[in-house]
Structure 1
Amino acid sequence: MIGVSDDATLDMLERIGGDVAVVGSMNADYTVVTERLPKPGETVNAGPLTILPGGKSGNQAASAARIGAHVRLFGAVGDDANADFLLGELGKAGVDTANVRHVPGPSGTTVITVDAHGENTIVYSPGSNAHVSVDYIVSSRDALTAASVLGLCLESPMDTVVAAARIAHDAGMTVLVNNSPFVPQLPRELVDAADILLVNEHEMAQMLGVDEPADGDWNGFDWTDARERMAGLGFAHAIVTLGGDGSVILDATGDGDDAGAGVTRVAPVRVEAVDTTGCGDAFMGTVLAGLASGFVLADAARLGSYVAAYAATGYGAQASYGTSSQIRSRFAK
C-alpha cells in the first residue's frame, strides 16, 4: 500500500501546472444540514438552506484549477440568476469559462441533504446541462484539444460525452471517464476512446458483477481478479475510490505495489469529515491536474487523497476546496 503521510506528496503541489479540459455539468447545489437523513415519507427539521456552486464537472474543474492547473470548462448554463452565480464562482476558482454556452431556461440544480455524520443524499435536475450538445463540442474542438488531459462524467448527454472522448482521443489527449451518475454498461465507443476509468467501490462491483464484502472491509477483496475483469471490459487502467479508505489503482499493463501484479493501494488521509459532498470530484480534479502535469497515475492519486480529505472538512463541494497553500498548511508535518 502506498502511504500518503509524507511531505513529499504535498511537495507535488508545487509542480502542478498542466492544461486540463473538462466537459460536462454545472449545478447550483441547494443544501440543508439535518441531524439524520429522512426515511421515505418522513419529514425532518433542517438548518438554513444554502446555495453553493456544484455540478460534477464544475467541481472537477474547480478542484484542478485551485491547485494550479490551467483548466478550460465546456458546458452550458441557463438564463437564470444561477448562471451568473455558477460562472462567477468558477472564475474565482481560476477556471476558464469563456467557452461555456448560454441557453434558455434554468441552469442545472441539485438538492442535497447532509446529516450530522457528513453523509448525504443528492437529487439531480439537469436543466441546461441537457443542452451540452455534440454540435457544441465539435465547434469547440480547437479549444478543447489545446489541453493534454480531458475529464468526463455522465451528467451530460451520452452522445456528447462519447463525441468529446473521441475528439480528445484522436488528438492524442489522455481521457479520464468518471462513470457517474452510474451507467452499468458504457457505450463501446466511449470505452475505446477512454484511457482511464474512475469509479467508486459500489460502481465497480456493479460493473464487474461481483459481490461487495459483507463486512465492508475491502482489504481481503480479490483486486487482481477485479483488474482482470476490468481489463476484460476494455479498461487497462482504472481507479477505484473507497471513500474514507483511500483508493485502488488497477493497471493491466504493469506491476503494482500489492501482492497482485497491477494492483496499487493508495492509503487515505484521515480527517474529521463534516460533509463528503464533492470529495470524489475533488479527487478526480486532482488526478486530472496531476496527469496534465506529468505525474504517473499513482502519484496523482496520492495527491488526490490530500485534496479530497481537505474538502471533507468543509461544507459544500467547490466551496470546500482548498488552494495549494491551504492544503499544505493543513497537512504539512
Structure 2
Amino acid sequence: MSTRTPAVTVVGSINLDLIATAERLPTAGETIGGAALSEQPGGKGANQAAAAARLGGSARMIGAVGSDVQGQRMLDALAGAGVDTADVAVLPQPTGTALIVVDRDGENQIVVCPGANSHLALDRVEFGPDETVLCQLEVGLPVALKAARRSKGYFVLNAAPAMDLPAELLERCDLVIVNESEYALIPALAQAKLVAVTYGGDGSAMFEHGRKVAEAPSVSVAVANTVGAGDAFCAAVVLALRSGLDYTQALAVANAVGGDAVGDPSSQPDLAQLGYYVGRTAASADAR
C-alpha cells in the first residue's frame, strides 16, 4: 500500500438530512408517533467526500447548495471534515433536503428533494489527468455522463439510485459500486469491467465482466444508522484500490469502514485513517 492516501474528487449531491428515528417504519398511509427528530449534513456526494477526507485522502467536493442557512451549514460541515469546497456552487435554489425515517434496527426510508443539486453544472470544472473522480446519480445522469466525459483519470460511479445506464458511461467507468438491489436492477452491470457489490450483513464482492473475482465478509456491529454506511464503503474501496491493495484486501478494508459507519448515528461519521483499517483487517485475517 502507498504511504500516501490518494486524492479523490467527488461529484455529487449535498443535502440536509432530516431524520426521524422511530420504533419501526410506517406502512403506506400509516402515521407513527413517538419518533425523535434530528438534522444532519448529508447527501451521497457530501457523505463520500467527508469519508474520503476523514480516511486521510485529499478530498475535493464538486456540488451545489442554496444561498440559505442550510447551504452554509453544509459547507461548514464539509470544511470541518477536511474537504476542499472551493468548487461547490452556491445557487438561488434551496439546499437539497432528504427526509429520512430510521427504525430501531437502522433500516431506513428516504425521500430526496434535490433543490440546488438539480442545477449543478460542470462547465467551469477542470479535472486533472491523474485525478480520481467519484460520482453518483443523485445529481442526475446528464451530470454523471458529463463528468465521465471530462474526467481523464480513474473514474468511479456509485450507480445509486438505480437507473438504466448508457453504454458510453459504463464503458468509461473503471469501477462501478452498487448494493445488491441496484446490481439486480441494472442488468448491464454484468458487462462492466469492474463492479463492487455490497450485501449488507453478507459482506461484499468484486465482479469482472459479471464473474466474481473476490469477496470479503462483513464486520459484525451494532446497527445505529445505515444511511451513511454505503457512502463510507464507496470512499474506502476507492482509496484502498488506488493505494494499491488487491480486490480482496480493498473489500475487507471497505467493509470495516462501513461497519464503523453503521455503528455511528451520523450520516457523515467520524472515521479513522485508512491505514488503521488496513492494519485491522490484516490482523483479523491472520487471526483466522
Equivalents in 1 of 2:75, 2:275: separation in Å?
Answer: 23
- By how many angstroms is 1:146 displaced? 6.1
The structure in which a higher percent of residues are strand is: 2
1:321 and 2:242 matched? no
Equivalents in 2 of 1:62, 1:161: separation in Å?
Answer: 19
Equivalents in 2 of 1:47, 1:165: separation in Å?
Answer: 41
Q: Which amino acid aligns with 1:129?
A: N
TM-score (norm 2): 0.91
User: Is contact 2:215-2:251 (8 Å) kept?
Assistant: no
RMSD of equivalent CA atoms: 2.3
Q: 1:274 aligns with which of 224, 233, 241?
A: 224
Show CA shifts across 1:207-243 (max 9, x none): 23xxxxxxxxxxxxxxxxxxxx7443xx111111101
Q: 1:263 aligns with which of 195, 213, 216?
A: 213
- By how many angstroms is 1:321 displaced? 3.4
Select between 292-301 and 152-161 the one with higher mean Cα deviation: 292-301
Unmatched tracts of structure 1, length 5 or more: 1-11, 209-228, 254-260
1:60 and 2:40 matched? no
Matched residue pairs, number? 282
- By how many angstroms is 1:248 displaced? 0.9
Secondary structure of the structure 1 residue equivalent to 2:249: helix
Secondary structure of the structure 1 residue equivalent to 2:155: strand
Q: Percent identity?
A: 37
Equivalents in 2 of 1:154, 1:50: separation in Å?
Answer: 25
Equivalents in 2 of 1:74, 1:190: separation in Å?
Answer: 19
Distance 1:262 1:116, change over 3 A: closer
Select between 64-73 and 186-195 the one with higher mean Cα deviation: 186-195
1:129 and 2:109 matched? no
User: Is contact 1:132-1:157 (8 Å) kept?
Assistant: no
Q: 1:159 aligns with which of 127, 142, 166?
A: 142
Q: Could you say which structure has the larger radius of gyration?
A: 1
What does 1:238-317 align with in structure 2 at a 5 Å threshold?
Answer: 238-252=195-209, 262-317=212-267
Distance 1:286 1:325, change over 3 A: closer
Corresponding residue number in structure 2 for 1:207: 186
- By how many angstroms is 1:300 displaced? 2.3
Secondary structure of the structure 1 residue equivalent to 2:32: coil
- By how many angstroms is 1:325 displaced? 8.7
Equivalents in 1 of 2:251, 2:4: separation in Å?
Answer: 13
Secondary structure of the structure 1 residue equivalent to 2:123: helix
Structure with more relative contact order (C-alpha pairs < 8 Å, separation 6 or more): 1
Corresponding residue number in structure 2 for 1:88: 76
What does 1:60-79 align with in structure 2 at a 5 Å threshold?
Answer: 60-79=48-67
Structure 1 ranges of 4+ moved more than 4 A: 325-333
1:194 and 2:173 matched? yes
User: Is contact 1:307-1:321 (8 Å) kept?
Assistant: no
Q: 1:178 aligns with which of 149, 158, 161?
A: 158
User: Is contact 2:22-2:36 (8 Å) kept?
Assistant: no
TM-score (norm 1): 0.79
- By how many angstroms is 1:147 displaced? 5.2
User: Is contact 2:162-2:186 (8 Å) kept?
Assistant: no
Q: Which amino acid aligns with 1:71?
A: A
